[in-house]
């Protein structure tokens, strides 16, 4: 049987899923938690605590400042020490709330004890509007990496209709296994979360898209969903970037999202499986989004694994939990090897966006020397959006940004396929990203 996939482009990198099938390990609570206020795309949230104030685990410390914004909650009980700028993994200053943890050893249990879960009857009585409000209040954002506030995604604009909910379990990035782990571990919760999304957007049907290289996850869901006809598991071809929103919609429904449009224009609402799990926790267990699963991996790490991490823990704590930084480390990457960004400092806090920490040895992380373009057009056939990366790079070097805009550069999802396939090792994506930044500065 031919497996479903998107139309054009794409690559097949070595999956290197070293941590596949490993259990989720809890990382201990550190004595200090640093929570960035700009945890989601859009407007940074507004801080509502003062230094010296005590906060309980799960208490909101910053509220949404606009429609496209999400609140932030404290993952621990403790005292607000300072509100100051901290460096993110790329070294930029970000406004953050610093909380000193009390009772390090009991913090986790306290969270569990404090909350009385909603019963199934109570959940069934919730209206779509109430579900969306809970999702908003609990600070849930898209956990696939883009951190788009889920409340906004679930609020379908007037005049549009969601026909299908697609849960994104493709996890096409090499090395990362955080989604696979939760899919194997909590299929019941993910399906319950999925039903909540279906109710919120009033969609009759849902699909869970999983790449073929995760047979265990597919089998788990198929077993769990036996007899259900509203939720279907779709096995997708192992192909990068299968987990891109537009690629997934194309693979599952055969429809294309118009340029500059939303997935709902193609009748679909796409959420990551981790987001569905977070929605389940928020609605059933009244738990705000304060932790997530992060894959810490790398060929030389002593104990790579999937870790349950309190948001705000430093990245170095995570690496320590995985056995410490190996001596021959070339780069540490936030996210996967294709779309992740190299980190310049490891004392930065984790955010809701981080899905993986990849430690690469020097031999695997260096750049190849750039050579002239030989016009082989591999980048053109590799681009899943059907763009012309070589042309955009040439124009970007000449700073002709208006013309790059006419080449639909803003449709680029920065998957990195072009740079990956280029036989001359040209840094195509770097130039495209630069052009995108400059185009956003151009007068409208």
Partner 1 sequence: MGVISTTVLILGGIGVIAAVVLYFVAKKFHVYENPKIAEIEELLPGANCGGCGMSGCHAFAKACAETDSLDGFNCTGAGKDIMEKISVIVGLEAKAGVRRVAVMKCHGGCEERQVVNNYDGVDSCAMEGTLYQGETDCNYGCLGRGDCVASCIFDALHIDPEIGIAVVDIDKCTGCGKCVKTCPRHLLELVPVEPDKPIVWVACMNHDKGALAMKECTLSCIGCGKCKRVCNHDAVTVDDFVAHIDPEKCVGCGECEGACPRSSIHHIGNLRPELKGNPETSDNKPAGSNEA
Question: What are the residues binding partner 1 (CB under 8 A)?
Answer: 87, 90-93, 341-342, 344-345, 366-367, 370, 427, 430-431, 433-434, 437
- By beta-carbon proximity to partner 1, the closer residue of 17 and 426 is 426
Q: What angle do CA 258, 263, 269 make, to 5 degrees?
A: 165
Tokens of 435: 């052009």
For residue 93, the minimal CB distance to partner 1 (Å) is 7
Cβ-based burial of 416 (10 A; exposed 0-12, middle 13-18, buried ≥19): buried
Find out whether 174 and 216 touch, Cβ atoms under 8 Å: no
| CB-CB contact of 156 with 162 (8 Å) | yes
Is the CB of 205 or the CB of 345 nearer to partner 1?
345
* Shortest separation between residue 437's beta carbon and partner 1, angstroms: 6
**In the complex, minimum distance from the CB of residue 411 to partner 1, in angstroms, rounded to a whole number:** 19
Q: Which helix (H) or strand (E) holds 223?
A: helix 215-224
**Contacts of 33 by beta carbon, 8 Å cutoff, 6+ apart:** 74, 75, 76, 78, 98, 99, 101, 310, 312, 313, 349
Q: Which residue number, 158 or 327, has a Cβ lying nearer to partner 1? A: 327
Nearest distance in Å: CB 349, partner 1: 16
What's the min distance (Å) between Cβ of 367 and partner 1? 5
Least separation in angstroms between CB 260 and partner 1: 22
What number of other Cβ atoms are within 10 A of residue 237's Cβ? 18
Closer to partner 1 by CB, 332 or 387: give it. Answer: 332
Smallest distance, partner 1 to C-beta of residue 391, A: 17
Is 235 or 400 the residue whose CB approaches partner 1 more closely? 400
Nearer to partner 1 among residue 32 and residue 438 (C-beta): 438
Looking at the DSSP bridge assignments, the partners of residue 36 are: 96
Closer residue to partner 1, CB minimum distance, 159 or 369: 369
């Amino acid at each position: 049987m031919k497996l479903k996939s998107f139309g054009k482009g794409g690559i097949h990198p070595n999956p290197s899923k070293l941590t596949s099938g490993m259990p989720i390990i809890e990382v201990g609570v550190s004595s200090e938690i640093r929570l960035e206020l700009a945890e989601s795309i859009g407007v940074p949230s507004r801080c509502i605590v003062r230094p010296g104030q005590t906060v309980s685990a799960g208490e909101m410390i910053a509220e949404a400042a606009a429609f496209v914004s999400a609140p932030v909650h404290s993952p621990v009980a403790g005292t607000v020490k300072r509100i100051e700028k901290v460096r993110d993994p790329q070294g930029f200053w970000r406004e953050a709330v610093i909380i000193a943890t009390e009772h390090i050893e009991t913090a986790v249990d306290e969270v569990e004890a404090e909350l009385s879960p909603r019963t199934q009857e109570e959940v069934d009585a919730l209206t779509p509007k109430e579900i969306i409000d809970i999702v908003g209040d609990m600070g849930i954002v898209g956990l696939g990496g883009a951190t788009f506030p889920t409340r906004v995604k679930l609020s379908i604009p007037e005049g549009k209709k969601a026909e299908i909910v697609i849960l994104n379990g493709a996890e096409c990035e090499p090395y990362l296994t955080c989604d696979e782990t939760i899919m194997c571990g909590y299929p019941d919760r993910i399906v319950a979360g999925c039903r909540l999304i279906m109710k919120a957007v009033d969609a009759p049907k849902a699909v869970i898209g999983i790449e073929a290289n995760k047979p265990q996850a597919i089998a788990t869901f198929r077993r769990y969903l036996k007899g259900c006809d509203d939720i279907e598991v779709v096995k997708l071809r192992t192909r990068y970037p299968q987990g891109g929103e537009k690629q997934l919609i194309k693979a599952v429904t055969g429809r294309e999202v118009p340029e500059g449009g939303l997935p709902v224009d193609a009748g679909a609402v796409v959420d990551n499986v981790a987001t569905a799990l977070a929605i389940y926790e928020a609605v059933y267990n009244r738990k705000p989004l304060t932790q997530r699963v992060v894959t810490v991996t790398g060929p030389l790490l002593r104990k790579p694994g999937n870790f349950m991490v309190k948001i705000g823990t430093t990245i170095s704590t995570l690496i320590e939990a995985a056995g410490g930084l190996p001596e021959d480390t070339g780069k540490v990457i936030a996210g996967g090897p294709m779309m992740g960004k190299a980190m310049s400092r490891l004392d930065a806090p984790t955010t809701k966006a981080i899905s993986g920490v990849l430690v690469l040895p020097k031999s695997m992380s260096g750049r190849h020397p750039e050579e002239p373009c030989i016009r082989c057009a591999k980048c053109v056939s590799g681009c899943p959006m059907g763009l012309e990366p070589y042309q955009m790079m040439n124009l970007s070097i000449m700073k002709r940004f208006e013309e790059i805009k006419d080449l639909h550069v803003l449709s680029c999802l920065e998957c990195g396929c072009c740079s990956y396939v280029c036989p001359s090792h040209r840094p195509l994506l770097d130039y495209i990203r630069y052009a995108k930044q400059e185009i956003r500065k151009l007068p409208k």
